[in-house]
Amino acid sequence: MSVHGPLPAAVIFDMDGVLVDSNPFHLRKWVDLLHEHRIPFNPDDLPQQILGQRNDTAFRFFFGTQLSEAEIQRLSEELEERFRKVFRPHAAPLPGLAALLAECHSVGIPMAVASSAMTKNVEFIVDVLGFRPYFRCLVTGDEVTHPKPHPEIYFKTAAKLGVMPAACVTFEDSFVGVEAAKGAGMKCIAIASTFSAEELRERTGADLIVPNFAGLSPGMLRELFLPRRSSASHSRGKSP
């Protein structure tokens, strides 16, 4: 394959809702946990309250700010062990992802994962998919002080890759994730797997909104850096 012109310095992927369609399983684990502890919640608000968030943020929101770090760690380990056991048989990459990873690798674009999830979950997903060889580094929620929507995780990932943030393309699925990527000055493609394309268009500054990775190529990522006819983010394909 021949790709002409400057390519992104790096491509960085969120994990849940991007590498895999795991968020329905994350929602289920939280629903079960909140029911077990008799904590009231609004099912309509729950996706925005937990998806893309680091566990400690969600625990403090639902259980109160008095939770100790030890309690948060214990609850998080229990919650995520349950998730890994239930999700393993269902782990599959989003459509088109494997092809895009292979193409980016073939033209020498370094790639990484930047996820708010705990390290055990990130390594579990990357390994069960067989994608570890594609990624130069995995940066997780355990490694940052400020969770998304703060851009710290993206600045840290760019530093590990040795590239300028403004030369990177990111893939995100959540409102806080897109905000973090754009806050780091990166180009961001929003995957409409968790929230609809319409919601992402209205509530984020994503540079492109797509239903999945099908049809994407390194050349299309390069085009994100070309002058745009409109400053508004646009979408490709149908809203799920």
| Closest alpha carbon to 157 in 121, 113, 127 | 113
* Residue 44 falls in the annotated catalytic set: no
Give the span between the Cα atoms of 77 and 53, in whole angstroms: 16
Closest CA to 79 of 63, 93, 92: 63
45 is catalytic: no
Catalytic residue among 14, 21, 173, 207: 14
Other CB atoms within 10 Å distance of the CB of residue 46: 17
Q: Is 94 left (phi over 0), alpha (psi -120 to 50) or beta?
A: beta
Give the span between the Cα atoms of 16 and 20, in whole angstroms: 6
Which residues participate in catalysis according to the annotation? 14, 16
